[in-house]
A and B are shown apart, each in its own frame.
Chain A
Amino acid sequence: MSIVEKFVTMDYGPSPEDPREALAWLDKHKRRFGHFIHGAWQSPIEAKYFDTSDPSTTEKLADIAQGSLQDIDAAVKSARQALPAWQSLTPHARARYLYALARQIQKHSRRLAVLETLDNGKPIRESRDIDIPLVARHFYHHAGWAQLLPREFPNHEACGVVGQIIPWNFPLLMLAWKIAPALATGNTVVLKPAEFTPLTALAFAEICQEIDLPSGVVNIVTGDGQTGEALVAHPDVDKIAFTGSTEVGRAIRKATAASHKKLSLELGGKSPFIIFEDADLDSAVEGLVDGIWFNQGQVCCAGSRLLMQESIAERLIAKICDRMNTLRVGPPLDKSIDIGAIIARVQLERIQRLVDQGVAEGATCWQPTIPMPSRGLYFPPTLLSNVHPTSIVAQQEIFGPVLAAMTFRTPSEAVELANNTVYGLAACVWSESINVSLHIASQIKAGVVWVNCTNLFDASCGFGGYRESGYGREGGREGLLEYLEPSWFKHAPPLHQRPLAIDHPPEEPTESADEIDRTVKLFIAGKQARPDSGYSFEVRAADGRLLGEAPLGNRKDIRNAVEAARKATAWPKSSAHTRGQVLYYLAENLSQRREEIANRLSAVVGKEQAQSEVALSIERIFTYAAWADKYEGAIHNPPFRNVTLAIEEPIGTIGILCPTQAPLLGLISLVMPVIAVGNTAVAVPSEMYPLITADLYQLFETSDLPAGSVNLVTGRPTELLKTLAEHDDLDALWCFGDTVTCATAKFLSIGNLKQVFTNEGRSIDWFNPTQSEGRFFLEHATQIKNIWVPYGE
C-alpha cells in the first residue's frame, strides 16, 4: 500500500516493538531454564520441564524446569544458609543491594518489558509504561526502607526464610512487591513464579547475579501448583506470601494452620466502579478503560462491577459503547494496541463460559465490531448490561475484559450494592463532589478506593484487601510489617498446657457468708442472658473448692452474640474521642470496685496476682483510652499530584478467645484494643474463671458502653472456638491459647478467610506492658484503607 493510500485511510498501521533482544536472551539460555538456587542455575533434580508460550501466537518460548520437593528443599536450605550473613549486614549494605537491583532493572527495562509481553500477552504499552517502571520504583522505595529499618522499626526482626508465590497477571511487578520488602527487612527468599509466566522472574535471577547479590538471598524455583504446595508445606519456611486466587488462598491458610508460618494473602476481587450523576462522565469512561480493559481485565482489582446512578445510565452506556469501538485488540507487541492476549486457553474458555452464563441469566451482551486477530488467544471487550446482583457475572471474578453493569438510585444503595460481595479488594468512586466521594469511600469495604481514578499503584501506598480478598498489605510501612515480627514475640517461649502455677495457696474469700446466691449469665446485646442450653458448669478455685457456676454457652449463644455485635453500629460510628471517654469511664468504675473484684479473683489466682491483675487492668484500659484518638493513619505522596489517605479502619466484629491465665487482665488486654479503635467484640472469657463475666458486665453496663459492642459468652472454649472460627459474619478471630488451639482457629477460619491473630502457642506475659499492650495489638485490630484522591483544577 502506497503512502497515498495510507494518506486516505489514515490507519494507525503496525508499529511492532522489536523483540529481537529479548529473544536473543532466551537463545543465550538455549531456551531452557533451570532453577536459580544459591546464586546459580540448577537443573531440576527430576529433570522434568514444561513449556512456557506466547499467548498471542501460542508458540513455545522456552523449556521451564518443573520444581520438585527436592528442588524446593534445596532452595529453602540455600535461603536458610544465606540468612545469617544477610542479616549481619548493616542496613546500609542491604540498602545498596536493593538500590543496585533498582538500577539494574532500569538499565534493562525494555528487555524486561518485551519479555513480559512475550510471556504474558499484555500490551507493550502497559509492560513498558506501567509494570516495569513500578518494579523499579518498588526497589528504590524499599532500598530506602532497608536504610531506615532499625530506626523506624525498633525491636523488630525479620521472619527469616520467606516462601513467595506469585500470579501470572503482573509477573515481574508481583515479584517486586514480594521480594523488595522481604529483602529490605532482612529476610531471604524462595520465590515461585506462575507456571504461565516464569521468564521475567528468571531474568530477575540473572540481575541478582549481575549485581552480586549474595548467593541464596534470592532463590527462584519454577513449577506448577505442586511446586507451590511443596514450598507452602516446607517446615523450614517462616512465612508465606501469596498472591492469587481466593481458592488457593484458602488451601494455603489450611495447609499452614498447624505451623507458625506468618501468612499474607492477596486474593481475588469483584471491585465496584461507582459513577454518580455529578461525575465527569467522559473521564469516568476512560477510567473504565483503565479499570476493566487494563491487562485484558486480568487484574485482581479490576473495576468489573459498574454501578451507575439511574439518572445517567443510558447516556453512560452510550458513551461506554462509543469508547469500546475505539479499543484496539491485537498483537501485544504492537505499540498501538489497547488489549492484548488472554493468558491461556483455559482462561479464555472460562471467560466465555461465564459470559454465556450471564447472558443465559438475562444480561444483555454487547461487543464492539472491531477487528480481532485471526490467531492467538483473544477475547473482545465486552459489556454486560441489565445485570442483577443475583447473576453469576455480578458475583464471580471473571478475570477477563468483561464489564457487568448495574444501576443504583441513591448513595446508600450504591454502598449497599458495592459491599454486596464476599470480596473487598478495591473500589472506584466517580463524583465531582468531595463530600459524596469521601463519604462513599469511607463506607466501602475495600482496601483501596480510587476517587476519580483507577488502578493507580505506588510503592509507598499499601495494597491489599478486606474480607475474602485476603489479608496483609503490600507496599508502604504496613507492607513491611508483614515481613517483621516483634523480637519478644518471635522468641517468646511456648505456652505450657497448664500455665498457672500458683505460688501461694488461695486466700479464703473475705466476703460475708450471708451473701445472696449469685447467678452469672452471659452478656449479649447489652443484656444479661441465660444460656440457650439451659446448663451451667462448675467453676472451682485453685484448691478445688467450688466457687460457683457459670452458664454453658453454646453455638446458638455465639450466633446471638455475633448478631448483636454486628448490629451495634453506634460504636464503630462514634467518634474516637467518645470511645476514649467511655474507656476512661470504664477504668474509673473498675477502680471503684477494685477490691471486691480482686477478692473474688484471688480464689483462683492468688491474692497477689489478683490485685496486680486489677491494677494493671485499670492501667491497660487507660492505655487504650489514650490510644483511641491517637492511633491514626497517614497521608502518602505517590509521585504525582495526589494524596493517598491511609486510614486505619476497624476490622468489624472480632471474636476473642481469651487466654486461660490472667482471667481479668488477659481479657482486658485483648478486648480493649479491639473496641478502642471501633470494632465490636464477642469474647469467650478464660475457662479458668468465667465468673469474671458477672463483674465485667456490671462494669460495662455502668460505663455507657453501647449495647452489643462487647458480648461475653462463657462455656467450653474448644466448642465455642469452633463456632467462632467458622462463623462467616465474623471479620476476625483473636485466639490466645496453646499451639493446638491456635492451629484450630486458623484451620477453621477458611470459610470467609477471616483474619486470625494468635499467640502462635507462645507465652505472653500479660503483666509486662512491652509484650501485652500497644501497637502490636492495635495493628491487628485495624486494617488500612488507602483512599486515592488526585486533585487539581
Chain B
Amino acid sequence: MSIIQKGPQSAQQIGNRHLEAPLSPSDTAIAHLRGRALEANRGVPLNLGWVEDVRVNTSAVERRAQSLVTRRTVKKDYQAAWLLRAISCMDLTTLSGDDTDERVRRLCSKARRPLQQDLVKALGVESLEIQVAAVCVYHVFVETARRALEGSGIRVAAVSTGFPAGLSPLAERVQEIRRSVEAGADEIDVVITRGHVFAAKWQALYDEIAAFKHACGPAHLKVILGTGDLLTLRNVARASAVAMMAGADFIKTSTGKEPVNATLPVGVVMTRAIREYANQTGYAVGFKPAGGIRTAKQSLEWLSLMKDELGPSWLSSDLFRFGASGMLADIERQLEHHTTGRYSADNRHPLA
C-alpha cells in the first residue's frame, strides 16, 4: 500500500526478526532478546537499589494477563505444533509421598515416549522425536531416573533444599544439593526461605541462593520462589531479581504444594523481571511455571506469554519449562482430536 511505503521508516519489510538471531552471536550466547545476544547467567553482586526500585501494579498486571490470553490464539496445525512444543518443554514430575522406584521408572518411560507412535505418525512428526525435557523427582529417585533415562538426553531434575518448605538448616540443604548432583542430577530445583522475602532480608536471600548455586557445580539451578506463599506480586518481582543476581539459571513459580501455584499474573511479573535482568546484565535466565497447569489450553497461554514478553528463545526447553504432571494427558487428547476430528478419552493414552 503506497501510503505506508512512503512512511518515514519503511514498515513494509515483512519478516519476523525474532525467528532467527539477526545479530552475530558470540560463541557463548545461549539466547537472544530483541536481537541482543545473551549469555548464561553468572550472577551479579546484589544490587539493593534495583530490588527496592521494583514497581509492580497488581491491577495492571492482572489486566495484562487477562487480555494476553484473549489477544493470542493458535489453531489447527499451528496448535498441534505448539502443543508438541509444550511437551518438549515439560518437566514431567512426580513428588508424592507414595512415590516408588517403579513409579519413577514408569514416568521415565512416559518421558521417553510421551505420545503413542500411531499418533506421532498421524501428525507426521516422527523426525521431531518428541520427548519431555526432564523428569523431576525427589533425591532418593535420582539414581533410578538417571538409569531409566540413560541415553535419552532427557535430564534428571531433583527437588532439593528441604523441599517444599525449605526450612532445614542451611548446611543440610547445601549438602542435599551436593548429594543429588553426585547421584547424577542434571538440574536442581531449590526452594528459598520465604521468610527472607517477608523480612526484606535480601542479603540473606542472596547468600542462600549463591550457596545453592555454588553447590550445584555444573548442574542447572532452578530457584522456586514459592509465589503462592509470597502472595504479593511486588514480593515476587523482588525475589525474582535477587534470585537472578545470585546466579539462578531458572526462576520457578511454585512447589506445586502451595494453595495457589502458577498463575498468569505471576508469570507476567517473573517474565518481565527476566527481561529487565537480561537488559541490565546480558544474561539469560529461564522460567518455569509449576503447579496448577493442567490443560492443553493453559500450555498455549503460557507459551504465548513467553513469545510475546520474552521472544522465541524462551520457547525452548533451554529457557522454558512447565512443571506439570497432569497436563500431558490433556495434550495427548487434544492431539488425537487434531488427527481424528473426534474428541478423545484418557483411557486411550498410556498412563504416565
| Chain A residues near B (Cβ < 8 Å) | 1-4, 6-7, 9-15, 125, 129, 278-284, 286-287, 290, 318, 322, 325-326, 335-336, 338, 348-349, 352, 355-356, 359, 365-380, 382, 432, 452-453, 641-642, 790-793
Contact = CB atoms under 8 A, between A and B. Distances in A.
A481 B13 CA distance: 52
Contact of B59 (A349, A352, A371, A792): A792
A348 B7 CA distance: 12
13 contacts: A3-B125, A4-B125, A6-B78, A10-B303, A14-B75, A280-B61, A335-B72, A372-B1, A376-B1, A377-B1, A378-B4, A642-B59, A793-B232
Given A3-B124, A374-B1, A13 B19 contact: no
B315 A10 contact: yes
A295 to B, nearest CB: 14
A418 to B, nearest CB: 20
A698 B57 CA distance: 55
Nearest to A792: B58
A13 B62 contact: no
Contacts of A352: 3, 6-7
Interface string B157-172: 0000000000000000
A562 B307 CA distance: 58
- Interface range on chain B: under 10, 10 to 19, 20 to 34, or 35 or more? 35 or more
A11 B124 CA distance: 18
B85 interface: yes
B8 A355 contact: yes
A13 B11 contact: no
Interface in B1-53: 1, 3-4, 6-19, 34
B9 A9 contact: no
B234 A287 contact: no
Interface in B98-150: 123-125, 127-128
Interface stretch (B63-71, B180-188, B255-263, B281-289): B63-71
B244 to A, nearest CB: 16
A7 B89 CA distance: 12
Interface string B55-94: 1111111111001001111111110111011000000000
B312 interface: yes
Nearest to B4: A372
Contacts of B303: 10
Interface string B287-310: 000000000000000010001100
Contact of B76 (A13, A287, A377): A13
Nearest to B81: A6
A409 B224 CA distance: 40
A371 B10 CA distance: 11
A280 B55 contact: yes
B179 interface: no
Task: Among A281, A282, A368, A453, find the residue whose CB has the most chain B CB atoms closer than 10 A.
Answer: A282
Contacts of B64: 283, 286
Contact of A3 (B77, B234, B279): B77
A555 B80 CA distance: 76
Is the contact region of chain A dominated by helix, strand, or loop, or is it mixed?
A: loop
Given A11-B16, A371-B16, A380-B4, 20 more contacts: A3-B124, A3-B125, A4-B124, A6-B82, A7-B85, A10-B82, A13-B78, A14-B75, A15-B73, A280-B60, A286-B64, A325-B34, A365-B9, A369-B15, A375-B1, A376-B1, A379-B4, A380-B7, A452-B59, A453-B63
Interface in B197-212: none
A380 B74 contact: no
A274 B216 CA distance: 46
Contacts of A4: 81, 124-125, 127-128
B63 A286 contact: yes
Nearest to B75: A15
Interface of B: 1, 3-4, 6-19, 34, 55-64, 67, 70-78, 80-82, 84-85, 123-125, 127-128, 232-234, 272, 279, 303, 307-308, 312, 315
Given A125-B71, A338-B71, A348 B125 contact: no
A656 to B, nearest CB: 43
A417 B55 CA distance: 25
Task: Among B13, B56, B71, B125, find the residue whose CB has the most chain A CB atoms closer than 10 A.
Answer: B71
A318 B36 CA distance: 13
A11 B78 contact: yes
A125 B234 contact: no
Contact of B84 (A7, A125, A370): A7
A429 to B, nearest CB: 12
B55 A452 contact: no
A14 B78 CA distance: 9
Task: Among B60, B76, B85, find the residue whose CB has the most chain A CB atoms closer than 10 A.
Answer: B60
A371 B4 CA distance: 12
Contact of A286 (B58, B60, B123): B60
A367 B11 contact: yes
B61 A283 contact: yes
Contacts of A15: 73-75, 78
Contacts of A348: 3
A3 B60 contact: no
B80 A3 contact: yes
A293 to B, nearest CB: 11
Contacts of A286: 60, 63-64
A578 to B, nearest CB: 36
A12 B1 contact: no
Given A3-B80, A336-B73, A9 B19 contact: yes
Contact of B57 (A280, A338, A365, A372): A280
Given A10-B315, A13-B76, A793 B234 contact: yes
B60 A790 contact: yes
Contact of A287 (B55, B60, B312): B60
Contacts of A322: 34
B57 A283 contact: yes
A354 to B, nearest CB: 12
A641 B8 contact: no
A84 B17 CA distance: 65
B17 A369 contact: yes
Contacts of B315: 10
Given A281-B55, A325-B34, A12 B72 contact: yes
A742 to B, nearest CB: 46
Nearest to A355: B8
A349 B7 CA distance: 11
A10 B85 contact: yes
A349 B279 CA distance: 38
A374 B3 CA distance: 11
Nearest to B19: A9
A326 B117 CA distance: 37
Given A283-B61, A336-B72, A365-B9, A378 B81 contact: no
Task: Among B55, B62, B77, B82, find the residue whose CB has the most chain A CB atoms closer than 10 A.
Answer: B55
Nearest to A10: B315
Nearest to B34: A322
A660 to B, nearest CB: 55
A188 to B, nearest CB: 37
B70 A125 contact: yes
A12 B315 CA distance: 13
A367 B9 contact: yes
Contacts of B56: 280, 283
Nearest to A356: B8
A13 to B, nearest CB: 3
Contacts of B9: 365-367
